[in-house]
Amino acid sequence: MEITPITFDHPDAVKLSDEVQAEYRKRFGHDDLTVLRPSYFDPPMGLFLLAYEDGAPVASGGWRAQDTEDEGYERGDAEVKRMFVTPEARGRGLARRILGVLEEDARRAGRTRMVLETGDVLPEAVGLYRSSGYVPTTGFGFYRDHPDSRFFRKDL
């Protein structure tokens, strides 16, 4: 298994982003409408990772810098986005490995807190974040007022 930095608009990243959106439609009934631009994940203000197995992309995740206090973020936040593992690669710890790399990279970039939003229909995601030291926090970003959203943070 190889975990590698990649641009958010790379064809393999687009492929997995399309798959995660399909998962959201299945579970939530709609896409994630958060605006994400490739430049949001450009180092040193972000990072996007893909995990490859036998040359095929099987997992993704990224972080982007957030300092927009009017949307509920705090200065120094690193927001986790597009965490996803393909169904055939689940259960092998890939999401946890990617999350660890993201946290370390954000810490090196001077970020002070990881934040993320997930939904109550994604219990496996909630379990991953809780077991990785994330705690519930107040809402932020696009879905800050959405009743099915769950928000977590972890100090770096």
Q: Return the CATH superfamily for domain 2-155.
A: Gcn5-related N-acetyltransferase (GNAT) (3.40.630.30)
Given a contact cutoff of 8 angstroms between Cβ atoms, the answer to whether 55 and 69 are in contact is no
Mean pLDDT across the stretch 73-85? Answer: 96
Average pLDDT, the chain: 95
65: confidence class by pLDDT, cuts 50, 70, 90: very high
Poorest-confidence range of 61-70, 101-110, 111-120?
A: 61-70
Domains in the chain: boundaries: 2-155
Which among 74, 68, 57, 132 is positioned nearest to 102, based on CA atoms? 132
In this structure, the chain runs to a length of: 156
Residue 68 has a pLDDT of 79
- Using CB atoms within 10 A of its CB, is residue 149 exposed (0-12), middle (13-18) or buried (19+)? middle
Mean pLDDT across the stretch 7-34? Answer: 94
Whether residue 136 is predicted with pLDDT greater than 90 in this model: the reply is: yes
Distance CA 122, CA 39 (A): 27
Residue 70 has a pLDDT of 78
Whether residue 61 is predicted with pLDDT greater than 90 in this model: the reply is: yes
Poorest-confidence range of 3-7, 52-56, 64-68, 149-153?
A: 64-68
Q: What is the pTM of this model?
A: 0.95
